[in-house]
Structure 1
Amino acid sequence: MKKPTAIRDVALAAGVSTATISRYMNGKFHKMGADTRLRIEKTIKSMGYMPNDVARSLRSTKSNTIAVILSDILNPYSIAILQGIEETCAEFGYTIFVCNSKESSAKEKEFIEMMMAKRVDGFVINTSGGNDELIAGLAHEMPVVLVGRKISTGMINSVAVNNVQGVSLAVGHLLARGCSALALLSPRIDHVSPRIERVEAFRALASQEEMQGIASGIHIIDKIAVEPVTEMLGNLIRQNRSPARMGIIAANGMLSLAVLKAAKSLDYEIPRDFLFIGFDDTEWASVANPSLTVIAQPTYEIGATAAKRLLAGLGQDAEHSQGESLELPVKLIMRNSTLI
């Protein structure tokens, strides 16, 4: 007969002490890193170690709380997503903990560990990037849904938008308005999937045969602030002092606002000096001067859909739940910034 697995066997396999295993079994995670906790969890499952009654009770008890980790809570895009998450969770009797990682992978990891210690039932994450392995491991053990941004590791439920469609709509609109020079402005790519997808989509379109003769360029902004954006925009327009009509696309809402401020400081007039399209239909986009043509993302729907998918996954075995990447459609809203 096979000898039952003992706590010391689990500790040896997980590379920790028996005391650490004991703390884990009793739900004492406040000083335990997320990596350690996930490693212990996987070791227990793989070895078939039977938790004690206290641990089983802790695991079977729901907290009716969801952790929401956002990369930038001050971004209007994030606020709209959060509203969709909160209202949907409240409808089903769940409370949310909201964490702002401020585009820091270290802070994001810290919040994941903190929320695990609070024994939340699941996570909705708009990742800052750099924690792909950690998030993939987390999703293997409990319900996780990514919003807006995906990771490269593992099949994880995510709700985002069709960025290829968005860039295609923007480029097509500018070409239809007679632009023969196009520029895509993007924040630093880093590990941020929407930025990667938008840049790659623009590059793919620019290489197509029907784009021959259209000057195009991708310009990466290290910091979204008026001064560097003003310098970049000034150089871009000066280099295009020709009969060619220029069209500029900003890859997110915060950058769109910075471009409008930069144009004003340089005394450029939109659309006289260049046609302009932004991503995100923020509240100010329709009242800006000029009003901004945008690629509108269904931000509230992104949040609400993510929350519904997470709540639907509660009660299922996370190890056997199939990750699915859902891309919602976007639409172009034409306003004065491309009206000539």
Structure 2
Amino acid sequence: MGHRVRSAVVVLGALAAVLASVAVSIAVGPADLTTADVVSVVVSHLGGPAAEVSRIQDGIVWEMRLPRAVLAALCGTGLALCGAVMQSMLRNRLADPFVLGISSGASTGAVTVAVLGIGAGVLSLSSGAFVGAIVSFVLVMTLATGAGGGTGPVILAGVAGTQLFSALTSFIVLSSADAEQTRGVLFWLLGSLAGADWVDVWVCAAAVGIGVVVCVIAAPSLDAMTLGSDTATALGVPIGRLKVILLGVTALMTATIVAAAGAIGFVGLVLPHAARLLVGPRHSRLLPTTMAMGAVFMVWADTLARSIFGPQEIPVGVVTALVGVPAFALILLRGRGSRLRSAPRLVGAR
């Protein structure tokens, strides 16, 4: 019971941190706003009393910074959830949409629609990204299966897929886009939430919302899958159907996020490990905690991206990489230390 109470407190605290982070981050910047001003503007637009701020400040909060902060939270939620689900589904602690090439494939699909115009009359940017994400993941898993499966082949296949689709994206942009379009696409590919609006928020909220519902319902099955396919099957988990469903929702979330904000790496790789340290491996607690941590992380990463060198922005993907790479190294070192501690010692051997 004590562990459950502790987990509930962590989850509720993380959710509160999301709301607080969004409110405080919106006040950061040169517009002379306070957190109280931000709250009053949001309350007024939701039917409350009028906020005592200027029309310019009201527009900055409601039309510019709030959609951007909410979109950042949604992107962090979706990417962290994808990472946690993929790590459990593949039983691979290094799995995430960026490492396995799904983000790169989604970028290629989106750029194919935006720059080449292929399927533009039928496919939206998000639809093109979704097709690219599915193609990339199927290719990576086919390569990994042909190489015998396991952690090593999956990661190597992911690296190969990432390089392939990154090269295709660069080729399409450099060969078919003009100079201004090339600059905008390349900045977007590094991850950018500049220009976010409420349409982006609602589209991303729909995709992430579907993914959250499906993955939370599948939490008990994910617990079983971490024990291995044979054990999960013995417990009555439909492995094949569940993997198809989870692949679909993770690809949907990744594609929508890439279409809205570009390819943002390391969120899904690092944060599930941090959440496991706080609440353990049980997915009923792990998934909500991971999502909340992803939302908080992305909100503050985007705040740094738009303010640290203000008024010049840097891509948010640069910030997540600068934080994620050291954390990734710590995960590798921690895993190596765990293996060394668990190895049997040869007593008296010379």
More helix by share: 2
Q: Larger relative CO (CA 8 A, sep 6+): 1 or 2?
A: 2
Q: What is the TM-score normalised by the length of structure 1?
A: 0.29
Of the two, which has the highest radius of gyration? Answer: 1
Q: What is the TM-score normalised by the length of structure 2?
A: 0.29
More strand by share: 1
